[in-house]
């Protein structure tokens, strides 16, 4: 696939700041399904080390709140400044996804790359914690690591080469996620599909020089991507 916006960041930066399959490419493909205007106020939920926030602010013109529980906001702010962004364009903060410190209706849109499966498996999460923060008519876009078909009852050996059954319980297929997201009121599931860049994003990730990428490499090289996909979700608040 062609990723002009993702590839505007040096490969060294992507590798140093990624925390999973190439988040820049996942984000660019996901936003190709979106209808979010420049100047929109966007929550980057589970923003990690700030790559997707910098992409959305610099390349799409969004005002981005980069919310993550585990990353250092000061480090992310330095990175944003290195990207030429000000604290009025990209705002980093430490926040728990279940206790986000924002007013109802604050955001025009929410984007979440490779993180929604950690907190969104609770069927009440979307309606109770996230949807109220979005304006009516606003979009929520998730890139969720998933399975082609749920196989928890008979996990393939290639998956177990890197991950435990408990870790794999964070991964589900499209029908599981549709049922989960359908529990919330006042939301429309506009689109749900497999993302095209999954294999490319994983290939970029396992080339990174860190222990987590190295740990995932065995499963990928054993054929895990025959069973794993990435699910793009586009929701609209009614």
**Residue 54: CATH number of its domain:** 3.40.50.150
Residue 163 counted as domain residue: no
Q: Domain of 138?
A: 6-149+170-199+227-237
pLDDT tens by residue, 47-86: 999 999 999 999 999 999 999 999 999 999 999 999 999 9
Residue 67 counted as domain residue: yes
Residue 157 counted as domain residue: no
> Angle 4-8-9 (CA atoms, 0-180°, nearest 5)?
135
Residue 218 counted as domain residue: no
Residue 212 counted as domain residue: no
Residue 102: what are its φ and ψ, rounded to 5°? -130, 155
As for how many domains the chain has, the answer is: 1
pLDDT tens by residue, 143-191: 999 999 999 999 999 999 999 999 999 999 999 999 999 999 999 999 9
- Rounded Cα distance, 3 and 7, in Å: 6
Residue 213 counted as domain residue: no
Residue 73 counted as domain residue: yes
| Bridge-based pairing state of the strands 228-237 and 107-113 | unpaired
Residue 92 counted as domain residue: yes
């Amino acid at each position: 696939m062609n990723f002009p916006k993702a590839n505007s960041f040096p490969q060294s930066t992507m590798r140093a700041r990624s925390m999973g399959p190439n988040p820049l490419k996942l984000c660019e493909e996901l936003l190709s399904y979106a209808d979010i205007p420049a100047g929109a106020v966007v929550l980057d939920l589970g923003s990690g080390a700030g790559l997707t926030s910098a992409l959305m602010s610099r390349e799409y013109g969004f005002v981005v709140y980069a919310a993550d529980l585990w990353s250092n906001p000061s480090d992310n702010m330095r990175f944003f400044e290195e990207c030429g962004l000000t604290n009025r364009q990209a705002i980093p903060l430490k926040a728990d996804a279940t206790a986000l410190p924002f007013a109802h209706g604050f955001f025009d849109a929410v984007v979440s790359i490779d993180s929604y499966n950690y907190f969104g498996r609770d069927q009440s999460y979307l309606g109770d914690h996230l949807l109220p923060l979005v304006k009516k008519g606003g979009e929520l876009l998730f890139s969720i690591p998933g399975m082609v078909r749920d196989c928890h009852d008979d996990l393939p050996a290639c998956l177990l080469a890197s991950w435990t059954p408990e870790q794999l319980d964070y991964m589900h297929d499209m029908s599981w996620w549709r049922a989960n997201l359908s529990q919330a009121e006042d939301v429309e599931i506009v689109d749900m599909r497999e993302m095209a860049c999954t294999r490319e994003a994983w290939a970029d990730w396992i080339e990174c020089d860190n222990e987590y990428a190295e740990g995932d490499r065995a499963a990928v090289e054993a054929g895990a991507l025959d069973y794993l996909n990435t699910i793009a979700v586009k929701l609209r608040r009614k």
